[in-house]
Amino acid sequence: MEKRKIGSLEVSVVGLGCNNFGWRIGPDETKAVLAASLDSGVNLLDTADMYGTGQSEEYLGDALGKRRKEVVLCTKFGFEMGAGKAGASPKYVREAAEASLRRLNTDYIDLYLIHRPDPQTPIAETLGALNELASEGKVREVGCSNFSAAQLAEAAAATPAGARGFVTIQNEYSLVKRTAEEDVIPECKRLGISFIPYFPLANGLLSGKYRLGEPFPENSRGKDEWGPKVFDPAYLNVVGQLAAFAEQRGRTLLELAVSWLACQDTVPSVIAGARTPEQARANAAAGSWKLSPQEMGEVDAITLQHETVGRSVG
């Protein structure tokens, strides 16, 4: 699989999102999904302390075993992890990092992200704490998630010369959620940092399982709490057009969703979750389509003609 750079790290163009671990699947299923991903060439594993309230990290650490050095391990901190356990104060940064290291059964984190901005803590203090962890060899690179363009600029301005700053941001981005193109992605280009999309399949909307006028599959996200925001007729109409575009070229909607993101020049890796080995293998294979400039333009014509879908509704 193609590899790209995030700072000093070299990552697979398709990564594995581990948010299902400890929430939707148990330890044995986690091992099967992880093995299928690694054997398919995936090396970027993305988790967070809050996923499964720590169980995602625990299951992942246990499943990795001797394969730890084969992967680039990304985890995040900042969301609520118990009474008084949240945020990005220097004290909590260290506490959260040590807890993640224990759960992941490792002595270093390759890519450590602040999961959301902390308005109570100056970003310079957070960066100082992250640099201390890096100087101790406990963190290799640092980044952020759910930051605005203005917050990215603030963080860059607060990073002293020679200090470790954010090398990447992880925000929502997909064929049907393109608001990041308005300001965050231009700011990434200005600062020279990468953009890792989350929800690349729009909570499953772009998986190929959903069509306008057809009932939602049983046990799908279209039937649970994720549904109301993306599983509506306006989105499903666009999905139908995108699916037809892919099928005309002998491809699947899943391949289009992943490969379109991988063709963006700021995107080093597309993180996709999986609950089964079959899904993991399909995700890994989906990033190989190199869309031509003409094809990219045709996709834009499908998505951006629907202004409320292409950019503003989520």
For 180-215, letters b (16+ CB in 10 Å) and e give: beeebbebbeebebbbbbbbbbbbbbbbbbbeeeee
Beta carbons within 8 Å of 29's beta carbon, 6+ residues apart:
275, 276
Out of 51, 59, 112, 173, the active site residue is 51
Using only C-alpha atoms, the chain has a radius of gyration, in whole angstroms, of 19
Annotation marks residue 51 as catalytic: yes
Q: Which residues pair with 12 in a beta bridge?
A: 3
Instruction: Say how far apart CA 265 and CA 194 lie, in whole Å.
Output: 9
DSSP line for 33-95: HHHHHHHTT--EEE--TTGGGGHHHHHHHHHHGGGGGGSEEEEEE-S--STT--S--HHHHHH
Nearest CA to 13 out of 207, 285, 252, 276 is that of: 285
Positions marked active-site: 51
